[in-house]
Amino acid sequence: MSPTRQCLAIVLAAGEGTRMKSARPKVLHPVGGKPMLTHVLDLVAEAGAQTVAAVVGPGRDDVADAARQALPEAQIFVQTERLGTAHAVLAAKAALQAKPDDVLVLFADTPLVTAATLARLRAALADGAALAALGFEPADPTGYGRLVVDGGQLVAIREHKDASEAEREIKLCNAGLMALSGQHALALLEAIGNANVQKEFYLTDAVEVARKAGLKSVHVVASAQEVMGVNDRVQLSAAEAIFQNRMRENIMREGATLVAPETVFFSFDTKIGRDVLIEPNVVFGPGCIVEDGAIIHAFSHLEGAHVRARATVGPYARLRPGADLGEGAKVGNFVEIKSAHVGAGAKISHLSYIGDASVGADANIGAGTITCNYDGYNKFKTQIGAGAFVGSNSSLVAPVTIGDGAYVGSGSVITQDVAPDALALERGQQVEKPGWAIRFRASLAGTPKKRP
């Protein structure tokens, strides 16, 4: 397609979404950790739309703010009354008046559409159609508009409620998305009336208006999965499942091994390198990068974490935002890391909490070590030097620094800085009483033991 064609994308986001039964507007519910509206705005940007308009319902500042956050240059229009999809598109009349080459109309509750499909719709316009509708064949067509096709041309889209018995037999349905020639879009939309069962201004009627004006309409077919719309939480979970399958396939095709892909969950922005091994039951929240050769063992939860090359995580590890594991570092079972840089080759193998900290290269953090980073009011930093050895079950009370190569004796509560290469011990002197146990038992001989 010619890159010089100007494209306006209009994203309809005025839906009430009452079937979600949620305090949150429907289009802000996430799929793969990203609001559905943001999926669609990212998509139109990727598809090359130079101008993007979002149509929101009255008083929906939350939706408008989310649109601006996703795409700062997005123009926001308010549809003051919900009078139908054509009426909603006309809320963006000011954008349509610029007469771009292509106008794409999308629904913010249809988040899985691909840029390739938008390219096919735009290609139909470039080939001379005034309108290109997106069709699909759902398992159950009930409720959808039907595409009435005659001799390769699209002659009408009939809403289910307005369709005749014969038209309801048609399997090819309207996905709702449409591409319109910008030269004609405004005139077509303004000619649409509301003489139908729902007394709504239907975007779909643009097809018949175009036909009467001697303009050609066509359709492009997509898979039912790609064009699925989300109206309730059951459909939201179906969209999530489709999204997750796409992510898993992409990640495996890029060279990572997922032993049981159906049990691994990614976010929209998860980046996984080559020869990464991900065992079953792993969840990636937003903002994770896993570099080449790393291993994520089973039952680990990562969010905002950077796992560098050949590092290993888990099983049963939790990496929270700001966890940054150096090359070849090891974070083992029941370890939680938050806002902490762990140096290359460092080991935190068992049962630790390391937060607001830096751990030097090749340091060894014993089982049960805790950084006491919070006093109920403020957070403080713990710095552990390169090659340091922190004995098991130590509490490091921040702010505190353990020097390079220093040792901390097991069970210590460290409240003062430890110099490089020193040993710090903080525990009572061990007392030993020879033969004490023999005397103890003798003193109690004959007394029956009480069972608890």
> Amino acid identity of 402?
I
| Angstrom distances, CA of residue 408 to CA of 116, 303, 364, 369, 435 | 59, 30, 11, 11, 32
How many angstroms separate the CA atoms of 130 and 113, rounded? 21
Specify whether the CB–CB gap between 251 and 258 falls below 8 A.
yes
Q: What is the full DSSP assignment across 303-315?
A: SS-EE-TT-EE-S
Q: End-to-end alpha-carbon separation of the chain, Å?
A: 82
Nearer to ligand UD1 by Cβ, of 229 and 286: the residue is 229
Q: How far apart are CB 91 and ligand UD1 at their closest, in Å?
A: 8
Q: How far apart are CB 330 and ligand UD1 at their closest, in Å?
A: 48
Q: How far apart are CB 228 and ligand UD1 at their closest, in Å?
A: 9
Query: Kind and range of the H or E element at 241?
Result: helix 233-253
> Amino acid identity of 66?
A
Nearer to ligand UD1 by Cβ, of 8 and 173: the residue is 173
Active site residue 350: yes
Residues 6+ apart with CB under 8 A from 153: 216, 217, 218
How many angstroms separate the CA atoms of 74 and 11, rounded? 10
How many angstroms separate the CA atoms of 97 and 336, rounded? 55
Nearer to ligand UD1 by Cβ, of 176 and 385: the residue is 176
Nearer to ligand UD1 by Cβ, of 83 and 397: the residue is 83
Residues that bind ligand UD1 (CB under 6 A): 12, 14-15, 55, 79, 82-85, 87-88, 107-109, 144-145, 157, 159, 173-176, 202-204, 229
Nearer to ligand UD1 by Cβ, of 161 and 439: the residue is 161
Q: How far apart are CB 100 and ligand UD1 at their closest, in Å?
A: 20
In this structure, are strands 400-402 and 382-384 parallel, antiparallel, or unpaired? parallel
Q: Which residue is nearest to ligand UD1 (CB)?
A: 145
Q: How far apart are CB 121 and ligand UD1 at their closest, in Å?
A: 15
Exposure of 42 by Cβ count < 10 A (0-12 exposed, 13-18 middle, 19+ buried)? middle
What is the residue whose two structure tokens read 């249809």? 110
Given 160, 301, 306, 350, the catalytic residue: 350
Active-site positions? 350
